[in-house]
Amino acid sequence: MKLSKNTVIVFIILIVVSAVYRIFPERPFGFAPQMALALFGGAMISDKKLAFLLPVLSLFISDLLYQGLFSAGIASVPGFYKAQLWVYISFLLVTVFGFLMKNVNWKSVIGFSISGSMIFFLSSNFFVWMGGGGLNRPKTFDGLLMCYGDALAFYRDYGVIHGFAGNFIIGDLFFTGLLFGTYFLAKKYTPSIA
């Protein structure tokens, strides 16, 4: 993808819109566009620095907004927390995974989206197990499995209360399809984005 003035404007809009969307108060938990941005950046942006910047900047802006809302007593979730660095690293891993998407079509977008969700889940919880999230589980294979079980229980329990029900995979599929689909439609009808 060439970096024209229009492309840069589209990237800025993507980053801001995705960051603001992530802090919507009634947004379903786990239904957010950042994993799609990471995958799209890895697959479609030839400048690797920009590919990494796309999801990280979106996350950072939304975390700043969350922190501001939390400090003002409006939000119950802080923007900055102990395991934050590991979450960012997990998104960067998804960006690296996106580099492997050579043939971009609807099948690969779906497959990479589901796989990217799993990479994020496995890596972020692995980092929590290693000590980045405050959960003290033994540093054994059984301890790692316990950590993954804790994460699944969190998703299940939080989902029962808040209607989560697998939103992270559904959201990743939705936003990945939306992002790639919009890009290819824009490329078809606006040659300067190609």
Which DSSP string do the residues of 100-167 spell out, in sequence order?
Answer: T--S-SHHHHHHHHHHHHHHHHHHHHHHIIIIISS----SSHHHHHHHHHHHHHHHHHHHHHHT-TTH
**pLDDT value of position 185:** 84
Q: Is the pLDDT of residue 78 over 50?
A: yes
Is 144 or 77 the better-scoring residue by pLDDT?
144
* Burial readout 159-172 (b: 16 or more C-beta within 10 A, e: otherwise): beeeebeebbbebb
* In the predicted structure, residue 111 carries a pLDDT above the cut 50: yes
pLDDT, greater one: 162 or 182: 182
Reply yes or no on whether the pLDDT at 5 is more than 80. Answer: no
Q: Which two three-digit tokens encode residue 127?
A: 């980092």
Residues 33, 15: Cα–Cα separation, whole Å: 10
pLDDT higher at 84 or 189: 84
Tell me what pLDDT residue 165 has.
Answer: 44
Q: Which helix (H) or strand (E) holds 51?
A: helix 48-71
Beta carbons of 132 and 87 less than 8 angstroms apart: no
pLDDT for 99 equals 96
- pLDDT for res 27: 66
Taking the C-alpha atoms of residue 156 and residue 106, their distance in angstroms, rounded to an integer, is: 29
Q: Is the pLDDT of residue 40 over 90?
A: yes
In the predicted model, is pLDDT for residue 13 greater than 50?
yes
Q: Give the tokens for residue 93.
A: 């891993």
For residue 44, how many other CB atoms are within 10 A of its CB? 18
Domain span at 153: 5-21+30-193
**What share of the chain has pLDDT > 70, as a percent?**
81
Q: What is the mean pLDDT of residues 57-72?
A: 89
pTM score of the predicted model:
0.83
Give yes or no for residue 85 having a pLDDT over 70.
yes
Band of pLDDT at residue 43, cut at 50, 70 and 90 = very high
If one counts the domains in the chain, the total is: 1
